[in-house]
A and B are shown apart, each in its own frame.
Chain A
Amino acid sequence: MKRILLTTTFLLLLMGVASAQADSAAPSPPAPPTGVKAVDKPNDHGHAVNISWDMSPDDGKGANSVVTYDVFRWIPAYMDSVAQIRAGLSGIRDTINILDRANRKWSVLEEHLTGDSAKLANDSVVAAQRIPQLRADLKRFRQVLASAVERLPEAHKTYPENGSWRRVGTVPAGQGKYSNVGSKEYEEPDYLPDFSDFYYRVDAVGVVSTTRSSSEVSAPVHSSGQWFNTGRTTVLVFVLAFGFLTVLFVRKARAGHDLYVRPLAGIDAVDDAIGRATEMGRPILYLLGAGTAADIATIASFTILARVSKKVAEYQTTLIVPCYDPIVMSIAQDIVKTGYSDAGRPDAYKEDMVFFITQSQFAYVAAVNGIMIRDLPATNLYMGKFYAESLIFAETGALAGSIQIAGTDEVAQLPFFVVACDYTLIGEELFAASAYLGREPLLLGTLKAQDYAKAAVLLLAIVGLLAVNVGHEANVEWLMKFKELFKVID
């Protein structure tokens, strides 16, 4: 006993000495950051606050002893009781899931089991009978939590009583801002209530986490949601301007103004290619690409298919449309059917002209390659989204001696089509193609709108370039910022 006492005393002494030494050895804390400002995070749906501060004089210069900044928020004790209700809630949720899972597992096996396992199985099934009860509990807890959460703004008003400072984030030295983003769902642990007084404080921390110094406390701030994202005003301006241009030219076109469009070699070639197929008595292969109906390029391809199928029906040639996506197949079937009935030959339409292959990229390629080599189409049309398969198609098609016309907006694949096909619609030309083929004044009107937008781009680019350059040379801040207008802010 005595020995234990002695040892303990000795150890205590030793610790005292050690801690005294540590104290004396500890470096002095860095100077605190100043000017801590907290503002509601703009352009969001609330539940977030931006904090900024002037960096400590010891950050990067001075004693150069800042390693990180710790950001603290004052949190009322009431928040903890809310957290406890929340923990109870998720506890019930977990229990339900566990019982549910165990029950399912055992009830499948039950009849095959014996001995201990059978008892275990039985227990689980019995336990599972509590699930409805638990669900009722869950519902009650939800109501309690909902009403508790409503009192949170109230609780924040008691600052600085009944609460404590908690660290909400850490940033490395050299940075003076942090976003305290919480969840908007109050069942999530990181829920941040809107319209509550938040107080923030920032600590400069040295190498040892105990060497720190705190800033002044920021003025209280509320987080709240906004109804308009001002960061996207430029985008809205573009949307409205473009919408206006389009409507304007469509109206003009409707009024009967004649609109000029320059010829596009790839478009003119389509009609010739159909004629050629008729002469040779060989089919036409039309690929809508590996895109889905979620790609505008595929939709553009539909409009070209509409035109092609009508022509094909008139010329009485065969059309093959193997599809990669079932929805695309459905739409393509409708289109080809309509094309045939428009041409006055609904009887010539066959169900198996448009068919589904597979939604796997290279299996689709393998099958289409087979069709190209075996059916030897006179013309291959590739319109829509294409990926790595572009060159495989184009080369196999060339091997089969087909005339090939391609069009895609997939920039990485354009080189392969341009190199290996006879005609290629480059990017925007694919979208213009539908207007070209239809020759409808309304569609041509939208082309005109597109051209005006392009002219605006040229103008903006030149003006912007001048602004940036003049700004750069003369060091004028706002001119240099001109290009920021086009930066997309999230």
Chain B
Amino acid sequence: MKREVPLFITFFVGTLLIASVFIPPAESWGENFSVYFDIIAVFAFFLGGGNLLRIHLQKVASKRPDWGYSIVTLVAFLVMLAAGLFKLGNPGGISGNLTTAQSWFQILFQNIMSPLGSTMYALLAFFVASASYRAFRAKNRDATILLVAAFIILLGRTPFGTMLTSWIPPQYDLLQVPNLAIWIMSGPNLAGQRAIMIGIGLGIVSMSLRILLGIERTYLGDDR
């Protein structure tokens, strides 16, 4: 019971969905199952939210290092949850639109969550620079190829790229850096992407099959 039923459910649901692709009346099943999936995922939020509360309450209770910050998390979580679930400050009441401009939910989103998120994203500008410095070194042949390709593309995006190679006559203008950059993107880059994608496609198909056939069952939490 404990092992066989889940394996059967997986096999049955998966095979059903594969078959539905070939049967026009069942074509929309895939979408429907995705909706069921979303609904189950919302139930899982109880688990997630419960876990979050538990971890931070424990931290506060046992006064572990940085426990004060856990209070920040707890308060922020509960305030936002209340603002969203009870639609606090929403002129439309409980049936109003969740993201109405004056509602607490939207104000907190606009002024706290949104700037924090986009700043975190913007840190990438710094990390792109440090990664370039640290990792683009001609240590061996593979690394050199990586470095040269990146450098050509970068150069092609600055006025220097055009300057340095504009003397090359039109018959050989593939060698001008901006053209070379475009060529790398549309030639070798495309080939590489495609090879990776074919591999991924196969890998996923094979992995799905392993799951359906019950060969791969670690997700059930027993590795035997």
Contact = CB atoms under 8 A, between A and B. Distances in A.
Interface in B175-224: 193, 196-200, 202-211, 213, 215-216, 218-223
A251 to B, nearest CB: 11
Nearest to A324: B48
B121 A431 contact: no
Interface in B121-159: 121, 123-124, 127-128, 130-132, 134-136, 146
Given A365-B120, A419-B135, A356 B24 contact: no
B146 A446 contact: no
Interface hub of A330, A428, A449 (most chain B Cβ within 10 A): A428
A81 interface: no
B116 interface: yes
Interface stretch (A275-283, A391-399, A476-484): A391-399
Nearest to B27: A45
Q: Please classify the interface of chain A as helix (H, G, I), strand (E, B), loop, or mixed, using the class held by over half of its residues.
A: helix
Interface string B51-75: 1100100100000001000000000
A48 B216 CA distance: 42
A443 B215 contact: yes
A352 B55 contact: yes
B168 interface: no
Interface size class of A (residues with CB under 8 A): 35 or more
Contact of A330 (B47, B134, B193, B222): B47
B23 interface: yes
Interface in A365-411: 365-366, 374, 388, 391-392, 394-396, 398, 409, 411
A414 B200 CA distance: 12
A260 interface: no
B202 to A, nearest CB: 5
Given A250-B215, A302-B219, A420-B135, A229 B23 contact: yes
A32 to B, nearest CB: 34
Contact of A326 (B34, B47, B136): B47
Contact of A43 (B24, B44, B127, B132): B24
Contacts of A361: 117
Interface stretch (A1-9, A55-63, A214-222, A238-246): A238-246
Interface in B23-58: 23-25, 27, 34, 37, 40-41, 44-49, 51-52, 55, 58
Contacts of B27: 45, 229
Nearest to B205: A242
A442 interface: yes
Given A227-B24, A303-B216, A391-B131, 16 more contacts: A225-B24, A229-B22, A229-B23, A246-B210, A306-B218, A331-B221, A352-B55, A355-B51, A356-B47, A363-B113, A363-B120, A392-B123, A427-B199, A430-B203, A449-B206, A450-B206
6 contacts: A227-B23, A327-B47, A331-B219, A338-B223, A359-B48, A446-B209
Interface of B: 18, 21-25, 27, 34, 37, 40-41, 44-49, 51-52, 55, 58, 66, 93, 95, 113, 116-118, 120-121, 123-124, 127-128, 130-132, 134-136, 146, 193, 196-200, 202-211, 213, 215-216, 218-223
The 7 closest A-B pairs by CB, nearest first: A334-B221, A326-B48, A431-B203, A428-B199, A362-B120, A428-B203, A326-B44
Interface of A: 43-46, 104, 108, 225-229, 232, 235-236, 239, 242-243, 246-247, 250, 292-294, 296-297, 299-300, 302-303, 306, 310, 325-327, 329-331, 334-335, 337-339, 342, 352, 355-363, 365-366, 374, 388, 391-392, 394-396, 398, 409, 411, 414, 416, 418-420, 426-428, 430-432, 434, 442-443, 446-447, 449-450, 453-454, 457
